[in-house]
Structure 1
Amino acid sequence: MRVRRPSRTQETSALHRGRALLHMQATLATSQAAWLCTVDEWINDLDMRSDGRENRRKVARVLGFNADWKTLTTNTLTWAVIAERTGIKERSVARHLAALHEANWIGRVAAGRSAESKRAAGWTGEDAFVNDAPVYALTVPLPDNVVDINVTPPTVSGYKEFPARAREAEAPAGAASRPSPIEAAKGRPRTVPADRTLPAWPGHVTPSSKDEKLLAGHEWARLVPALKKLSDEHLRHIAKDFFAAGWTIRDLITALDTLPNGWKQGQFIGGQWVPFSGADGIPAARLGHWVNWRLNHWRNDDQTVKESPSQTCIRRAAAAEIQRQAEQRARDEERRRNQAEMATPEGQAAKQACLAQFASRPKRRIRRR
């Protein structure tokens, strides 16, 4: 039976959220923070490559941060939007969303719908030219030990967990000990250590929203211990203009230690440039001014932000690729021009003259040893 898509005013209602959970072994999440923590723990235990885990974590965080606080649903995220915010291709986004749905971490309340399909179905008015994003609900899988209400529950006394003929609490002296379980019975060992610190925000991704910038500020302080004296909100305010210009955490770390000309941050001592850190003995009240002073080297005269180190590398790589393609086109054009010249009667005559000249040369005798 075909189910009609709910309207935009009803797509986040409790009725349709409940319908999305009918065929899922899951319940609605209690909060965004709890859902993000449990999803992170599940992703850490996945048996997959580290870059695949990070990409899945990016998609999950975009869903969690953009969910409505009351309904815990998202109705503004299309595949293209998620791909733009995470830097992943749309087909990879679709694959990670399907994996989250199969693992009962998100529920599909309503499918996406393009404006073309709406107009083909007879829609008119302003809504006929607006794409409807899919609606996802944040869910949590049910535990495996859920009791089935359709069967008889176990007795109150429970089951005996000791042999029927046991008489002593301890084994008698001289009794053979049980063999230790083999390593294969223990299952796959955990590949993620318990004390592993996951990054709050990827260092190569530019944050866009306020929550993402707050996480980026926290990760910036974790990677630069001298900045732990400042709050995450203060670091977000300092890096606000740089994030708006497309900078990343790695760019900010590079800017704190390096000048735009490639020199290390420092000062002139005795006529020589001496690099130094300078952040160790600065109190918390002046640390924000010190960070701003170092980042101001990466501003123009009109206080606009300069090109970041990663943007410079990308621009130079693109320019080198354009230059390489231009040189390749020039070589191809020269080769085609030479082939066209050799195809003319004059070219063939010159070729035959060269061959005749080679044939007229006396052959060198090779003396045998």
Structure 2
Amino acid sequence: MWSVIPGGHRPARHIVRWLRSIQELAEFQLARKDLKANIWRFANAVAQCPGFDPASMTIMPIWQRLQERFGFPAKSISNYFRRLRDWGVLAVVATGRTAQFTPKSSGRTENEAAIYVLLEKAEDQGVEKSSVPVPTRAVNNPPHARAGESSNPQMDAASPQPSLKRAAQRREVNHQLLDRTESLWDPNATTDATTKRERREAERLASLELQFRSFPLQRISTAHVAAICRPFFRAGWTIKDILHAIDWRPNTDARYHHDGAHGVGNTGAWLKFRLGKWARHDGGLYRSPSQKREAERSQRAAETRAAAERRERALAERSSYTPPTVPWRERVARIRQAQLG
């Protein structure tokens, strides 16, 4: 059994601890709502299967029982077992086999069920390893320091968010940001691509780089940031444009007095509100700062070209001018004589 347990894992101490460890997984918390419900129902069904050995934390779930009692299709059972193995909460000790593949020397004529061992993380999961510090140190006021003040402990910072999904999102984002060695996406480049897959990947990398440059956005998932910023990415906005839109009001030089680092409970709604100010009433978007600068450069270049063309025409006309051969006094005299009769 120990030969199949991966590093950093150990057999779960209790079946309940195993179920709780699944809930604390970032992959489980960030999964789709329907997949999350099906995986949780499947894990509870596996925990109720016979053949459980609490000493070794091994279990022999029978597929026929899972199909008849809990209604799981065979293909779904295979997919759920594979997903639990990939998440590191389950390991295969012995694979199952049908009776036709059982050696005759064993004398067995029945199907053999697979044996799995239930796993949990070996290190302590009580402290979240994240680049987003959440201090929880308490400060005791000295007695009689100030009259009328309570000497009860007071927290010098907000307590961690109780939501397992939010904690999983923060761990997942910071795990990717801590491994960042260079810019995930050019902050001055757009996310244009030829195929849908390439465009989605470009939007994901741009959103992750946006989270690296904006600390409050690290509280939500990268997919959430990409979903909010997707209309702006497809309108030709860059990362720097979105960062400008988060801190500045549109068409003015007024900066917001409050940022999202403190006092914001729903970061996604805060980001959507800030970016929503840059949307017109007809559903379109205002031009981004980079687009405005590009339009101004194009206008200045067009004006410079027009002025150069005017100068060239004036020089050409001046060079093609031929002075008259008749003196001006004689020309004036001829004009007057023609007017007099």
Larger radius of gyration, structure 1 or 2? 2
Shorter-chain TM-score bucket reads 0.3 to 0.5
The normalised TM-score by structure 1 is 0.37
